[in-house]
Structure 1
Amino acid sequence: MNRLTGQELRIASVIALGGLMAVLDTTIVAVALPRFMTTFSASLTTIQWIATAYALGMVAAMPLAATFAQRWGARRVYLAALLVFAVTSAAAGAAGDLGWLIAARAVQGLAGGLINPLGMTIGFGAVAPERRSRMTTITGLPLLIGPILGPMLGGLLLENLSWRALFFITVPPALLGVAGVLRWVPVDTPSAERAPIDFAGGLLLVPGVVAVAYGFSEETVGMDVRAVIVAAGLALMAVFLRRSWHHHAPLLNVRLLRDRTFGRNAAILVLYAGPYFGSMLLMPAYIQVMRGDSAMISALMMVPSTIGMGLTIQFAARVLERFGPRIVVGTGLSLAIISTALTILVLTPDTPYAVLAILGVLQGAGTGAIMLPTIVSAGRHLNGPDLASGSAILPLSSTIASAVGTAVVSGVFTGLIAAATAGQGLAALSGPAADSVLTGQIVDAYRLTLVGVLAVMVIALVVRLRTSPAPTPEPTTVRSAA
């Protein structure tokens, strides 16, 4: 009864295609940084801006998605974002020098940052609230598998073609998405209010989120400088939140966070996204540095998690409709906690990859039951302008949580390794002093880092279980009730 119609499936497919391109480009260049250093004769500090410019462009654009959608219509802005993404992808692939490439990536990031929030707005607006879980099963999948597929695809393209293929590869799908939008996505009507754009809010929020994301993710500057940048960003965001809470037409309707359903689910999303995406950097380090295996094996070990997600997502929508988010997300968090705890228990310098693959499937299954159902639960009862704001708040908060989680996990792991190796770090494994005892100490650092990840996941489970079950509210808007 709640299945998507043929038209709704076509809309979902177009949105998923655009979303996959935007998310893939966040990680597809990770494996190519050494190649870029050789090609452009530049240091890693400079080359990292190929990835950083795209990431900062994304977080800068996300807060603007809701205002753009209300003022010009979600379909029109989404179409423009896809076109800009296609053009800048081609420009990056054709770059003749490093400055050109970094500039193209920055503009590409601005377009990519609009694609997923606007896609969520279009997808949720295209179906009745009770079928939004079915829509998200398709449209939200790129958010989960994109970060995993990016390095794998990047490695294959780099090995068989050239670094330019990393950018040209997204041009045809983006243009296909443009054609799909023109053919299948209905024209929407911009908000009748036409409230003035909250430029003051933008001048507070956009630099704030960029500063926080940069401070937590950029490792080429000193810790003292990063701390100042993060503090300044948090201060700007705090002023934005205080101002927007009382503003009649804010850039983002942050009053949604006081709604129990939206606020609780947003908190769960942040609490899980931070440690989950942060811990993704640990397995490649374990495989390539501690065990000395290839990057391809490291990429292949990401596949089991993707399989687990795919298996869960196939029936997540139906289970969510029948049992509700408390049971579904609670079960997903339990699976993620169990897989993390088992990894801590079984991890050694030579744990069989088959065992780690099984745990990866379990982790992926848990993630599939957490992320998409949480997004659906947060936005199921939103409509109109509040849907646009909610569609921007969720990916923005998840992106910031991922940046923070990655920085914290990396910092804890690095600190524990430094303590175990008398300051030598992972380089100690390649020297003459490397032995089984030292390797074991570094694996212990990995396990201790996962203990912190596990603790945050347990907090997320407590937040989910403390939310008493409630009937799905009738479609309404927080704004009108305020």
Structure 2
Amino acid sequence: MNRAASATSNVPLLRVALILVLGTFMATLDATIVSVGIDTLAGDFDATVTEIQWVSTAYLLAIVAVVPASGWLADRFGGRRVWLLAIALFLLGSLLCALAWSLPSLVVFRVVQGLGGGLLPPTGQALLARIAGPDRTGRLLSIVAVVPLLSPVLGPLLGGSILSIADWPWLFYVNLPIGLLTIVLARRYVPVVPAAGQRARFDLRGAMLLTPGLAVLVFGLTEISHGRAGIPVLLVGLAMLVAFVVHGVRTKHSPLIDPRLFVRQPFGSVAIALFLLGASVFGAMFLLPLYFQTGPGLSALQAGMLLAPQGVGAALGSVLVHRAIDRVAARTLVCTGIILVVVGTVVFTQLVHDPPVALVALSLLVRGVGAAMISAPVMNVVYSRIDPELLPRAAGALNLLNTVGGSVGTAALAALLQARLAARDSAVAAAFADTFWWVVGFGLLAVLAGLRLPARARTSTAN
């Protein structure tokens, strides 16, 4: 097949990828858009900071709770159907959130929204990998993987813009036209992929241990980060997860997520890399806008604009990965990306010296390029080598690790920041600088995991 014919045949596949990306983009963008409106919501509902935090925490807990079941749902009902239902559930939650009349009602509706949003990334990735096949998965994942990196940058910018001209319900109404357009396009262009031939029964015992265990673990970490006694809650969550691992190894049936996957290579190294990526990249994205608003005293819109170079870097990194992912070894791409993230973070360990804005912008650009070089290659290592019928469960496991890594990293960094603020007698720049050293540490640990990835590129048979 010549190059022109090959490009023409890939147009429908690229269209499918962009449609699936649109759904994931909507869900990931929403979390950061709403974070900008927390102060506004607290004022309108006459709520304390502790109470209003549940608007974000409830959404996060719902995502963590539903991701483990995404693989079974796709196996049982088909990836396209589950993905469309996830979009519809997310839109329903968005509409209900916009109509919320009290803080408790808003928190409940955020759970509904999170259940839909949590299903979108794993089911979308698995569906795309099934449609594309192993030879074209890498290039398409390089497009999909940049979405979570752009969302924390664009979210504050869009949220700040909305609140400057409209009331807070529009933070949720904005999802409706995007979601409806996505459903129309998906029904027309995304092909139906048959559900797995084997219909394993739902792992009820595993679900009763893993899903609540993860939710309790994240809740415990959140409580610790807020300065309350979350350690007993944290220990309960850990105990439930240990019980799930024992159950997953011993059960004769198909577990919700097979713990034995994580001791196999390259899956084990991929899982560790994604966990640490979530902790380092998304943990830092919690710290950066917070520092810009509490340190220099920027508005949410100004902070979003200052973060824009990271989004530009992520886009540039995505283009680079798109061209290199089938020709350059995953180990090379991932380790290079992690090192760039670490290099781009070092300047924030020197905040007490008030680094110039140009240096901050350049560092964010470097961080963005590096972050875009990590996720797509590690996912491609798994998706291009695994049996097609196992894709939904593998996608669920990988997204779970990335989500939990981001949650754990964010909560841990919040707790560390609070401790450093107390130790530094509320010297904001020094406390943030101390905390960013931990982000550098997470990155260096991720390099060790990256070194265990395949050292050779997968040979493609596609023309």
Q: TM-score range by the shorter chain?
A: over 0.9
Query: Whole-Å Cα distance in 1 between the matches of residues 255 and 416 of structure 2?
Result: 37
Name the counterpart of 2:447.
Answer: 461
- Deviation track 1:342-399 (CA, whole Å, cap 9, x = no partner) reads 4435x34532111100111011111111122222223221233421111111111111
Check conservation: 2:326, 2:457, Cα contact below 8 A. no
Select the structure with the greater relative contact order (CA < 8 A; seq sep ≥ 6): 2
Mind listing any 5+ residue stretches in structure 1 that lack a counterpart? 426-438, 476-482
Residue identity in the other structure for 2:436: L
Between 34-43 and 227-236, report the one with greater CA deviation. 34-43
Query: Whole-Å Cα distance in 2 between the matches of residues 281 and 61 of structure 1?
Result: 23
Q: SS in structure 2 opposite 1:187?
A: coil
Residue identity in the other structure for 2:289: P
Asked if 1:44 is matched to 2:49, the reply is yes
Query: Whole-Å Cα distance in 1 between the matches of residues 340 and 179 of structure 2?
Result: 35
Between 357-366 and 33-42, report the one with greater CA deviation. 33-42
Check conservation: 2:133, 2:384, Cα contact below 8 A. no
Asked if 1:82 is matched to 2:87, the reply is yes
Asked if 1:146 is matched to 2:132, the reply is no
Asked if 1:452 is matched to 2:457, the reply is no
Query: Whole-Å Cα distance in 2 between the matches of residues 451 and 207 of structure 1?
Result: 32
Name the counterpart of 1:330.
Answer: 335
Asked if 1:61 is matched to 2:47, the reply is no
Query: Whole-Å Cα distance in 1 between the matches of residues 287 and 188 of structure 2?
Result: 43
Query: Whole-Å Cα distance in 2 between the matches of residues 252 and 79 of structure 1?
Result: 23
Shift of 1:184: 1.2
- Deviation track 1:113-143 (CA, whole Å, cap 9, x = no partner) reads 1111100111111112121111112222222
Between 329-338 and 215-224, report the one with greater CA deviation. 215-224
Q: SS in structure 2 opposite 1:293?
A: coil
**1:73-222 residue pairs with structure 2 within 5 A?**
73-218=78-223
Query: Whole-Å Cα distance in 2 between the matches of residues 342 and 52 of structure 1?
Result: 30
Residue identity in the other structure for 1:13: L
Kindly, what percent of the aligned residue pairs are identical? 31
1:459–1:110 distance in 2 versus 1, CA, 3 Å = same
- Deviation track 1:231-261 (CA, whole Å, cap 9, x = no partner) reads 1111111111221123331112332222211
Between 193-202 and 408-417, report the one with greater CA deviation. 408-417
1:390 to 387, 394, 404: 394
Asked if 1:443 is matched to 2:404, the reply is no
- Deviation track 1:141-193 (CA, whole Å, cap 9, x = no partner) reads 22211122222211111111110100010011111111122111111222222
1:313–1:235 distance in 2 versus 1, CA, 3 Å = same
Mind listing any 5+ residue stretches in structure 2 that lack a counterpart? none
Check conservation: 1:212, 1:400, Cα contact below 8 A. no
Check conservation: 2:328, 2:456, Cα contact below 8 A. no
Name the counterpart of 1:30.
Answer: 35
Check conservation: 2:213, 2:238, Cα contact below 8 A. yes
Q: So what's the TM-score if we normalise by structure 2?
A: 0.93
Name the counterpart of 1:407.
Answer: 411
Query: Whole-Å Cα distance in 2 between the matches of residues 96 and 279 of structure 1?
Result: 33
Q: CA RMSD in A?
A: 2.1
Name the counterpart of 2:371.
Answer: 367
Q: SS in structure 2 opposite 1:121?
A: helix
Query: Whole-Å Cα distance in 2 between the matches of residues 474 and 9 of structure 1?
Result: 18
Name the counterpart of 1:9.
Answer: 14
Query: Whole-Å Cα distance in 2 between the matches of residues 290 and 342 of structure 1?
Result: 15
Query: Whole-Å Cα distance in 2 between the matches of residues 385 and 204 of structure 1?
Result: 25
Shift of 1:413: 2.1
| Equivalences, count | 455
Name the counterpart of 1:243.
Answer: 247
Query: Whole-Å Cα distance in 2 between the matches of residues 466 and 330 of structure 1?
Result: 10
Name the counterpart of 1:20.
Answer: 25
